[in-house]
């Protein structure tokens, strides 16, 4: 009788060990899939960030060009004459202040 009891015990232990290993393998596969999914998500975020950076650089350049155009001396002189009715100062209107 002892042999059959021992073989039953070994069979139970083998079955438990088998299910443990299968469970660990499944857990590893799920873990690897989760990591791979995160890698793909991060890759998309990196590409999106690069595109945003490129758009912002273009916008900065455009804004600098607008600033240059708005601060152009010719434009300011034209606005002063046409919009505000200003003119260049005559020599007698200039007062020199010294310390």
Q: Write down the pTM of the prediction.
A: 0.56
pLDDT score recorded for residue 4: 55
Residues in the chain: 99
pLDDT at res. 7:
67
pLDDT at 13: 77
Q: What is the block-wise mean pLDDT of the chain (99 residues), using blocks of 10 residues?
A: 58 81 96 97 98 98 97 94 91 88
First to last CA, the chain: 122
The SS3 assignment for 84 reads coil
C-alpha dihedral over 68, 73, 76, 77, to 10 degrees?
A: -160
Q: What whole-number distance in Å separates Cα of residue 83 and Cα of residue 77? A: 10
Alpha-carbon distance 15 to 9, whole Å? 10
């Amino acid at each position: 009788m002892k042999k059959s009891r021992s073989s039953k015990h070994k069979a139970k232990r083998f079955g438990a060990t088998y299910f443990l290993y299968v469970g660990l393998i499944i857990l590893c596969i799920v873990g690897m899939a989760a990591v791979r999914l995160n890698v793909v998500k991060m890759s998309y975020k990196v590409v999106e960030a690069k595109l945003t950076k490129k758009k912002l650089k273009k916008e900065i350049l455009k804004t600098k060009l607008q600033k240059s155009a708005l601060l152009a001396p010719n434009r300011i002189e034209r606005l002063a004459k046409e919009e505000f009715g200003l003119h260049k100062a005559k020599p007698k209107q200039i007062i020199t202040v010294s310390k």
